[in-house]
Amino acid sequence: MAKQESSQKKKIADDLPTVLVLGPHSVVEAYEKQFSEKFHFLKPWESSIPLHQFLSTHAGSVQAGFFSAVRRITSDILNNLPELRFIMTTSVGLDHIDLHECKRRGIKVANVGTIFSEDVADMAVGLLIDVLRRVSAANRFVKDGLWHQQGDYPLGHKLGGKRVGIVGMGRIGLDVAKRLNAFGCIISYTSRNKKPHVTFPFFPDIQELAANCEILVICCALTDQTHHMINKRVMLALGNGGIIVNLARGAIINEKELVDCLLKGEIAGAGLDVFENEPDVPEEFFQLDNVVMTPHHAVMTEESLRDLYELVVRNLDAFFSNKPLMFEVV
């Protein structure tokens, strides 16, 4: 009986469209049953054979891939997938995908578009308030019993009236600006180009923006131009009362120089959701009460996970039905 059921399940899986999944992702685990009713997911991490061998084994059957940002999609990966025609990535950023090679091979690529924007913007405000008002540090102070021993905790700073520079005025940057503007912050920004529809002051140079702000919120994409864009010169321009919040990619900040500036008191604090060599985080951060960290989780809420599931299903259905994709980038 068990053998018959196994055979029936295999037949059902064989009749479903095959999708390669690279990198375990919470949406796959949370909606595994729903996904399995529509697609046959290939999961290399569940196999004992090396990845390149796994890809070669399934090369002829994989036309679509669902990839997380933790896996770099290089030309070597693509060489092992000659029939691949569509990549759905779980991120907004595309720095992990060789887009030039995808375009050359005629592989369509779609990202998650704007579905995470509000959650990321909420996290930006949360991290900023935490650093300014010392929420996490004060929480440790109370839980460690230091309130009784040491008395009053050091004062934090108010958010209203702070001059905030937003680095990257896309959808996430706009959502951050909207929230901080409501708190009474004074907003300015830098971006690849001045946005005609954005009324906040524009600075074409990141160092000039930093010199005119107390806080930098990083919302831009990681590119060759933005790699280590937030360096010591920018931090010194921000000043010893300055705070950096990063929701984008870790490598936009020169992390070694950030550590150095924080230890020397050349900037006042940082709220970080992303890091240069995830999941490795500089140990110096662990002892700093003015650094608040989250594990690259700004995009993830129960609601955004559901939205991601619905988008993935919609785009995979569209690809296999030869219909237009949502948030197609290549």
Split at pLDDT 50, 70, 90, the class of 25 is confident
As a dihedral over the C-alpha atoms of residue 264, residue 270, residue 274, residue 276, rounded to 10 degrees, the angle is -10
Please report the domains of the chain, with CATH numbers, ordered by start residue.
Answer: 2-113+302-320 (3.40.50.720), 117-293 (3.40.50.720)
pTM here is 0.91
- SS3 call for 190: strand
pLDDT of amino acid 98: 96
Residue 283: pLDDT above 60?
yes
The rounded radius of gyration (Å) of the Cα atoms in the chain is 23
pLDDT of amino acid 326: 97
pLDDT of amino acid 301: 96
| List 25, 214, 249, 276, catalytic entry | 249
46-63 per-position pLDDT tens digit: 999 999 999 999 999 999
Over residues 191-201, the mean pLDDT reads 96
Calculate the alpha carbon distances from 106 to 69, 92, 99, 165 in Å: 21, 21, 10, 39
| List 266, 278, 284, 328, catalytic entry | 278
Split at pLDDT 50, 70, 90, the class of 13 is low
pLDDT of amino acid 125: 98
Per the annotation, the verdict on 46 as an active-site residue is: no
The answer to whether 245 touches 217, Cβ cutoff 8 Å, is: yes
pLDDT of amino acid 3: 53
Split at pLDDT 50, 70, 90, the class of 220 is very high
Q: Which of 53, 117, 104, 46 is nearest to 75 (CA)?
A: 104
120-160 per-position pLDDT tens digit: 999 999 999 999 999 999 999 999 999 999 999 999 999 99
Per the annotation, the verdict on 208 as an active-site residue is: no
The answer to whether 243 touches 271, Cβ cutoff 8 Å, is: yes
Q: Which of 221, 163, 151 is nearest to 192 (CA)?
A: 221
Strands (E), the chain: 18-22, 40-42, 64-67, 86-89, 108-110, 163-167, 186-190, 215-218, 243-246, 269-272, 291-293
Tell me which of 30-39, 147-156, 225-234 is least confident.
147-156
Give the CA angle between residues 278, 48, 50 to the nearest 5°. Answer: 65
Tell me which of 6-15, 112-121, 308-317 is least confident.
6-15
57-93 per-position pLDDT tens digit: 999 999 999 998 888 999 999 999 999 999 999 999 8
Residue 5: pLDDT above 80?
no
Quote the percentage of the chain above a pLDDT of 90.
91
**Residue 54, Cβ neighbours under 10 Å: how many?**
19
Per the annotation, the verdict on 296 as an active-site residue is: yes
